[in-house]
């Protein structure tokens, strides 16, 4: 049994505790939070869990194998660094860190200490994304052409970050998971109208050398809630609609074929119209699978599918997009 | 009665002829096309219409008051210039011209000769866009924050232009029609995967000094057909879905309010949840209204709501976006 | 080449003429209508078509092989009877006749004279229904359990019939086409609120000995337009939504299985959750295929898939449903 | 503070306990269930709640003011009768009882003992139905013409009842709530294909003297989940779609008007096309409002909007529909 401590018992912490307990391979033995009120909630629900307001107590406790960190992003780096330096495996909420440099240091530290360092990119563990991964891996889509993601709705404004740092990590993590090719640069645009001085509407393009292009649209002001992703290839296209109840993933055997091409200006294309297929998706709760993955990676020493490097890759794109957005769409190399 | 000649009887020409005939104020007296086959179709359907393969015949004919030009875009400028120089009013299909310089010259020429010069931005005449205009004009949306347009589907590839030049004119014309403020710059990104060497997936951001941001997503490869536009303001938001049969326009009284703001980092926002309203739209065929507008502008000498300047404004954004896309999102001043 | 006369050039007649001309195997040589105005329209569009206001002229004309009848339903029987008696093949608009007795006489007459007698159940020729037929024939659905049809919208009130006679023929014809088993009885309910004294909201149940049940909901008052059909079986279920643009037919591999059944009251069932599949549908215009079928049946002497007996079967259900509705749901044997 | 006991801690019991606790006016003091395991769950979560396997313990306990009964339907009558006879207020899960006779006796008993007797028709307390009620009460719909309800999905089969007894109570309770007129008769049809000998597909028509007609479609076999209700009147129509996330209620100002009517066969109607309006709905949890209603009715002695008589009215329709269905749609007077 792996003993886990949870740092931060706010919005997401309770979900983490519940799902870690449910793995059967790991259990929560301690919880740390700055608020005594929240710690009381932990004690009431899980009498066996030790509580503390001092993070150092977790570090010093030799019975603790791993720390799951669900604190504000700005604190991730310090908490994770100390955990790794004290020999604890680390699970970080998304986004992993506030900067690429921080994420790189954590990756190195985990490597050096031979510890599991994983990021909770929960969507990667959903039935929908696992099915997308399977379809892409099998080559069903053919050559990848574009990934287009829209995640918009009336949003809880974050105090200290723009809408990309808040919403895009979900979708960039999916991009990172589906596409093995390394992105080369980003362009981002956006605007701020309400509130915190950070963009509440933003658009991000990610370029790849192969010609693949990925685009993300995030918006905190939209009265309409949209969560869609199109992944288009030379053969088929996936349409992922997370607002659908029972058919989140649709695979279209429809597209455009090059019929003849005697020269750039003479290309002829024809439509290919075919079936659409909505595969059954595994309904297992994503967070439960993520918690099981954390336990399994610690136990076996294998790399997680959402390891520190995937967290780093996501942060690298976010950091570059923030720079691009400040320079009105200037291309930033990754 | 205004006598109109139609140049180009391909895909759109027959629609123009039919709708000009239906105005009651104008009638088609001549038709010019390079193809004898097409001209035979005209004669069969409209025995009274004179046909010719030589554009000059139209210019020389004193009985012709106006020329409606539905030829390939590359030829628009020469045909329109000659028409204006020969004292004919001009209706041009969208996009008006291939370049800003051409459009400017035509605007000047029409001004100089006191002729009507209008562009067929058909969507402006739809019940949906007329309702949007009314709502925006009344100030119902409050301060405009963003306009987000998506127009994607499996598309007929154009030989000589990218997907923005083909699909975006519809939506940029709507932007131009709804927003009086002048845009200041654009950033565009895109990629080409199939066919003609021109982008078949593209993203365009248009900046305004007020903070308003407009974004356009066009894609010729998508198996899913989407035609939506969000126009968000400080008070209300319009959602326009052109694929809806009977409720294309929905107006949401939902948004985010600033509750208190003692400093950038202390902003608090609250949700405003309210009703949604889908107004009845006038089902009159847009092209019929456009044809009537052309006749009326010629008769009265007033400016059209889709005059040459609006056509120029659309071309200016397209031209800049093409430059930006070639430089990977570089901001181009307008 | 089969020479066809069209009787009735109102709402549907022009579509018939156009599609018969397009078959290549038949051509329209004459047209009969009570209105001179309408006949002028025919002459203008098809100069070679003879026109007349007297139906007898068609009967006497030996050059006419077949008559397509698109007149009001009340006149179908007399017109069709005379045509068959004069050796003309007959195509009748739906519903075939106003009564079962009439339809039976026409079937007998056609049989006796060895003439093609066909009913224009257009929906049977749509890509959607042809795909449904294919799926049902292959046994993919397993044992048929239920067919549920909804066809509602703001409707043009018919002067002389209720909403079932107007809208249900489409869907009952589909039922008749998909299900080989003979229905045994019907129950129908309904109400009249506006206008003509005939029901404008109606519900019809059709019973089968196997346990299969079919149900039809028709409504002329609904502001919402719905055109759906569910065909459920022991293995799979078809969902047909005619308002969908590109995925009208969805096949669900989802249902309920009997896991154990030690007695009626001990049955246990489990869910079967599986994929959904939306096959590509042939977009050929249904009416064109119907016209080709008419020509082909005349040429080869084979039975049509929408022959007089299918028309009779539909009328039998309509007649019984009208009797049931007058007696508040009383079961009427067929 | 009103002391409530909950009988039955199965599927619904825990929801009842939680919501009664949350009212602030009532609290759960005891819980009775046949299963010790379930009672342990109660004790773990609510240490102050007394548990027992004997219903009599509740009856004898003078500290208990009211009993909420969430046991199988077949037991409702006996449990409720004893409660009322022992001076306890009663809240019954839906459907109230297995027969009209039982429901009538309970209504009489409550009347005689001056006790609150209420049925948990939860949907009546949803924001959607409360808004429907408001719109109907204001007369916005005009004269009521029809109510059409569809509630279908893959369902958990009930051992001892058909699909109408299981699913229709929700919608019949809404009918009962919206329409003051008394229904006069019902016709029902249905079929059983899987499992328990009871209908798993059923259709129910309810007649009113005014011409109003109500119809219910329930189906346990449908792979598609549909929960819609149309309430059509002479002026406006409500469309209620419970599967919609944010716009469950849409009000259409669209319909058919009688333009002239010189006789039954000369009626002319015209379309009225107008706006659609989706009002904001109160998101308060329905069960919480129901629990508060129970407490308030006990405290003040007023009649509940879902009192025993409404429960009786629903059962009366269900009982008659079951008789009709056994006689293949025979009209059963209420």
Q: Give the span between the Cα atoms of B205 and B172, in whole angstroms.
A: 11
User: Which residue positions in chain C have pLDDT lower than 70?
Assistant: 156-159, 195-196, 258-269
Q: Does D243 touch chain A (CB under 8 A)?
A: yes
How do the domains of chain D map onto residue ranges? 2-122+286-304, 124-283+316-333
Q: Do C225 and B243 touch (CB under 8 A)?
A: no
C48-83 core/surface letters (b: 16 or more CB in 10 A; e: else): ebbbbeebeebbebeebbbbbbbbebeebbebbbbb
Sequence-distant contacts of B296-305: CB under 8 A, at least 24 apart: B296/B25, B297/B89, B297/B116, B297/B118, B298/B2, B298/B26, B298/B65, B298/B66, B298/B89, B298/B116, B299/B2, B299/B25, B301/B114, B301/B116, B304/B116, B304/B118, B305/B124, B305/B177
Share of chain B above pLDDT 70, in %: 95
The pLDDT value given to residue B265: 44
Q: Do B278 and D278 touch (CB under 8 A)?
A: yes
* Segment holding C69, helix H or strand E: strand C66-69
- String of DSSP letters for D205-269: EEEETTS-EEEEEEESS-SS-EEEEEEEESS-EEEEETT-SS--EEEE--EEEEEE-SSGGG-EE
Q: Do C277 and A280 touch (CB under 8 A)?
A: no
Q: Do A225 and D245 touch (CB under 8 A)?
A: yes
pLDDT tens digits along A118-170:
999 999 999 999 999 999 999 999 999 999 999 999 876 666 789 999 999 99
CATH tag, D124-283+316-333: 3.30.360.10
D39 token code pair: 């009672």
Dihedral (CA of D134, D137, D138, D141) sign:
positive
A24-33 core/surface letters (b: 16 or more CB in 10 A; e: else): eebbbbbbbb
* Chain D partners within 8 Å of C233 (Cβ): none
- String of DSSP letters for B266-300: G-EEEEE---EEE-----S-HHHHHHHHHHHHHHH
Q: Which of B191, B249, B330 to mutate to test the interface with A (most CBs of A within 10 A)?
A: B191
The pLDDT value given to residue B63: 96
Cα A214 to its chain centre, rounded Å, is: 15
Q: What is the dihedral of CA D267, D271, D272, D276, to 10 degrees?
A: 140
The beta strand positions in C73-143, using DSSP E, are 89-93, 117-120
Q: Does D271 touch chain C (CB under 8 A)?
A: yes
Distance from CA of B224 to the nearest CA of C (A): 9
Q: Is the peptide bond before B101 cis (omega within 30 degrees of 0)?
A: no
Q: Give the span between the Cα atoms of B16 and B11, in whole angstroms.
A: 10
The pLDDT value given to residue A264: 44
Helices C308-326 and C163-178 cross at an angle (nearest 10°) of 130
pTM to 2 decimals?
0.93
B9 has a pLDDT exceeding 80: yes
Residues 6+ apart with CB under 8 A from A160: A72, A73, A74, A196, A198, B265
- Three-state DSSP at A256 gives strand
Helices D163-178 and D127-137 cross at an angle (nearest 10°) of 40
Q: Give the span between the Cα atoms of C222 and D231, in whole angstroms.
A: 9
Residue D1 half-sphere exposure, CB side, CA atoms within 13 Å? Answer: 11
B53 token code pair: 């393969």
Q: Does C11 touch chain A (CB under 8 A)?
A: no
Q: Does B245 touch chain C (CB under 8 A)?
A: yes
Q: Do D245 and A243 touch (CB under 8 A)?
A: yes
Neighbours of chain C (3+ CB pairs under 8 A): A, B, D
Which ipTM value was assigned to this complex?
A: 0.93
Strand partners, A172: none
* Chain D partners within 8 Å of C214 (Cβ): none
Three-state SS for C208-275 is: ECCCCEEEEEEECCCCCCEEEEEEEECCCEEEEECCCCCCCEEEECCEEEEEECCCHHHCEEEEECCC
User: Which residue positions in chain A have pLDDT lower than 50?
Assistant: 263-266
Cα A28 to its chain centre, rounded Å, is: 23
Distance from CA of C168 to the nearest CA of D (A): 17
Residue range D299-312: mean pLDDT, rounded: 97
| Topology agreement, domain D2-122+286-304 and domain D124-283+316-333 | no
Q: Does C225 touch chain B (CB under 8 A)?
A: yes
The pLDDT value given to residue A157: 64
Strand partners, B208: B183
Q: Give the span between the Cα atoms of B196 and D259, in whole angstroms.
A: 58
Of B185, B197, B232, the CB nearest to A222: B232
* B2-121+286-305 fold: Rossmann fold (3.40.50)
- Please choose, from the candidates B98, B44, B96, B91, the residue with its C-alpha nearest in 3D space to the C-alpha of residue B64: B91
Q: Give the span between the Cα atoms of C198 and C322, in whole angstroms.
A: 10
Q: Give the span between the Cα atoms of D202 and D220, in whole angstroms.
A: 9
Q: Give the span between the Cα atoms of C203 and C214, in whole angstroms.
A: 11
Q: Does B225 touch chain C (CB under 8 A)?
A: yes
What is the DSSP-derived secondary structure letter of residue D303?
A: P
* CA C135 to each of CA B93, C274, C279, D153: distance values in angstroms, whole numbers, following the listed order: 46, 17, 10, 22
* Chain D partners within 8 Å of C231 (Cβ): none
Residue range D320-331: mean pLDDT, rounded: 96
A265 token code pair: 């200006």
Q: Do A213 and B191 touch (CB under 8 A)?
A: yes
D80 has a pLDDT exceeding 90: yes
Q: Give the span between the Cα atoms of C21 and C288, in whole angstroms.
A: 9
Pairing status of strand A183-191 against strand A201-208: antiparallel
Residue range D126-131: mean pLDDT, rounded: 97
- Three-state DSSP at B127 gives helix
The pLDDT value given to residue C196: 67
pLDDT tens digits along B14-63:
999 999 999 999 999 999 999 999 999 999 889 899 999 999 999 999 99
* Segment holding B5, helix H or strand E: strand B2-7
How far is the first Cα of chain C from the last one, in angstroms, to the nearest whole number? Answer: 40
pLDDT tens digits along A200-215:
999 999 999 999 999 9
The pLDDT value given to residue B245: 86
Q: Does D252 touch chain B (CB under 8 A)?
A: no
Q: Does C333 touch chain D (CB under 8 A)?
A: no
* Chain D partners within 8 Å of A246 (Cβ): 225
Pairing status of strand C183-191 against strand C332-333: antiparallel
Residues 6+ apart with CB under 8 A from B2: B25, B26, B27, B65, B66, B295, B298, B299
pLDDT tier for residue B260 given thresholds of 50, 70 and 90: low
Distance from CA of B282 to the nearest CA of D (A): 10
Max CA pair span of chain C: 74
Q: Does C22 touch chain A (CB under 8 A)?
A: no
B267 has a pLDDT exceeding 80: no
pLDDT tier for residue B269 given thresholds of 50, 70 and 90: low
* Chain B partners within 8 Å of D278 (Cβ): 275-278
Residues 6+ apart with CB under 8 A from C24: none
Q: Do C243 and B245 touch (CB under 8 A)?
A: yes
Architecture per CATH, domain C2-122+286-303, reads as 3-Layer(aba) Sandwich (3.40)
Q: Do B275 and D274 touch (CB under 8 A)?
A: no
Residue of C nearest to A283 (CA): C273
* A2-121+292-300 fold: Rossmann fold (3.40.50)
Q: Do D225 and A243 touch (CB under 8 A)?
A: no
Q: Does C256 touch chain D (CB under 8 A)?
A: yes
* Chain C partners within 8 Å of D185 (Cβ): 328
What is the DSSP-derived secondary structure letter of residue D274?
A: -
pLDDT tens digits along C138-191:
999 999 999 999 999 987 666 678 999 999 999 999 999 999 999 999 999 999
Residues 6+ apart with CB under 8 A from D292: D23, D25
* Chain B partners within 8 Å of C44 (Cβ): none
Residue range B173-181: mean pLDDT, rounded: 97
pLDDT tier for residue D52 given thresholds of 50, 70 and 90: very high
In chain B, count of helices (H) and strands (E)? 9, 17
* CA A297 to each of CA A174, A308, B280: distance values in angstroms, whole numbers, following the listed order: 20, 12, 58
Q: C243 and B245 in contact (C-beta within 8 Å)?
A: yes
Count of C-beta atoms within a 10 Å radius of residue C162: 26
The pLDDT value given to residue A91: 98
D266 has a pLDDT exceeding 50: no
Name residues 175-194 of chain B within 8 A of A (Cβ).
Answer: 185, 187, 189-194
Q: Give the span between the Cα atoms of B163 and B172, in whole angstroms.
A: 13
* Chain D partners within 8 Å of C196 (Cβ): 264-265, 267
Neighbours of chain A (3+ CB pairs under 8 A): B, C, D
Count of A-D CB contacts under 8 Å: 6
B164 token code pair: 């923005």
Q: B216 and B230 in contact (C-beta within 8 Å)?
A: no
Distance from CA of C83 to the nearest CA of D (A): 30
Q: D32 and D52 in contact (C-beta within 8 Å)?
A: yes
- Please choose, from the candidates B69, B160, B170, B99, the residue with its C-alpha nearest in 3D space to the C-alpha of residue B129: B170
The pLDDT value given to residue C266: 45
Q: Which of B246, B280, B283 to mutate to test the interface with D (most CBs of D within 10 A)?
A: B280
- String of DSSP letters for B15-63: HHHHHHHHTSSEEEEEEE-S-HHHHHHHHHH-TTSEEES-HHHHHH-TT
Based on its alpha-carbon atoms, the radius of gyration of chain B, rounded to whole angstroms, reads 21
Q: Do C195 and D160 touch (CB under 8 A)?
A: no
* A124-285+316-333 fold: Dihydrodipicolinate Reductase; domain 2 (3.30.360)
Count of C-beta atoms within a 10 Å radius of residue B152: 23
Q: Give the span between the Cα atoms of A119 and A107, in whole angstroms.
A: 11
CATH tag, D2-122+286-304: 3.40.50.720
């Amino acid at each position: 049994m792996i003993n886990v401590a949870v740092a931060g018992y706010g919005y997401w912490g309770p979900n983490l505790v519940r799902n870690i307990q449910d793995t059967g391979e790991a259990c929560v033995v301690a919880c740390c939070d700055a608020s005594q009120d929240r710690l009381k909630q932990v004690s009431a629900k899980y009498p066996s869990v030790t509580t503390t307001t001092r993070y150092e107590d977790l570090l010093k406790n030799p019975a603790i194998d791993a720390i799951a960190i669900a604190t504000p992003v700005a604190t991730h780096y310090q908490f994770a660094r100390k955990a790794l330096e004290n020999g604890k495996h680390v699970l970080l909420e998304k986004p992993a860190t506030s900067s690429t440099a921080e994420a790189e240091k954590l990756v190195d530290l985990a490597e050096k200490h031979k510890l599991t360092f994983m990021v909770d990119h929960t969507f990667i563990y959903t039935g929908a994304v696992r099915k997308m991964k399977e379809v892409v891996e099998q080559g069903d889509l053919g050559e990848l052409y574009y990934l287009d993601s829209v995640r918009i709705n009336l949003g809880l404004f974050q105090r200290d970050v723009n809408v990309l740092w808040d919403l895009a990590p979900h979708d960039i993590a999916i991009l990172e998971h589906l596409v093995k090719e390394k992105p080369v640069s980003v362009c981002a645009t956006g605007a701020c109208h309400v509130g915190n001085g950070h963009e509440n509407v933003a658009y991000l393009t990610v370029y790849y050398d192969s010609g693949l292009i990925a685009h993300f649209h995030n918006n905190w002001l939209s009265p309409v809630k949209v969560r869609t992703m199109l992944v288009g290839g030379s053969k088929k296209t996936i349409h992922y609609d997370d607002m659908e109840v029972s058919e989140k993933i649709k695979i279209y055997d429809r597209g455009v074929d090059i019929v003849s091409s005697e020269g750039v200006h003479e290309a002829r294309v024809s439509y290919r119209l075919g079936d659409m297929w909505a595969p059954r998706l595994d309904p297992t709760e994503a967070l439960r699978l993520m918690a099981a993955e954390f336990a399994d990676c610690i136990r076996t020493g294998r790399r997680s599918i959402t390891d520190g490097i995937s967290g780093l890759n996501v942060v690298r794109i976010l950091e570059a997009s923030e720079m691009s957005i400040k320079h009105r769409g200037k291309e930033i190399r990754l």
